Amino acid sequence: MTEILGPQKLGPLTPLVGEWEGDVGVDFSFHNKDGGTAQTSYFERAWFKPIPIQENGQQVIEGLKYEMTAWRHGEEAMDPFHDEVGYLLWEKKTGVVIRNVVFGRGIAILAGGQAEPRDKTLQFTATPGDVNYGILQNEYLSERAELIAFDSTFTIEDDETFSYTSTLVLKLAAMDGKQMNHTDQNTLRRVKRYHPGSAYA
């Protein structure tokens, strides 16, 4: 099949516009009730909507507002165990790509990377204390599950599928300060398209 190439208003973010669902999610994390690490499988819904062009002086940013919500398998009719909202941003002039995400647990991350207009892989990293791409968390979590790094990758598999992996590196008080990787990964398929040229899809 020949790939048809045309203008992409949102650069590498363009393929993500729309609504998505994924049923093969895997969360590897520390389970406080069990006192150890374990995997949890999950179902997830996500949407990505274009936002108006953002201008910071001479800087021009294209972007998407997004939300991702996940339910443990067997608990789809209950409250989700994970919810996040944020923005994916791209500056054409410099190739900077940004993931600005807030988790309902009281964590805020601004992670950055580089991407060309038609890149199929977007990588975002952040570390605490970085003046540009850093991590903030509430006091309770800082004392018990200190975040020391964040790494996330979005991969466009094809026109109707994308996958992601997100890793939070933690120092856990419950593990005597040892480090562990809390990792989430899933593959999602598009269930609804939005017009990528509309800021109010």
- Residue 24 is part of a domain; what is its CATH number? 2.40.128.20
Cα 53 to Cα 170: distance, rounded to the nearest angstrom: 35
Give me the domain span that covers residue 175: 18-193
Cα 186 to Cα 157: distance, rounded to the nearest angstrom: 12
Cβ-contact 164, 154 below 8 angstroms: yes
Report yes or no on 174 lying in a domain.
yes
Structure-block tokens of residue 79: 């409250």
pLDDT in tens, 141-192: 999 999 999 999 999 999 999 999 999 999 999 888 899 999 999 999 999 9
Cβ-contact 145, 131 below 8 angstroms: no
Report yes or no on 7 lying in a domain.
no
Q: Report pTM.
A: 0.92
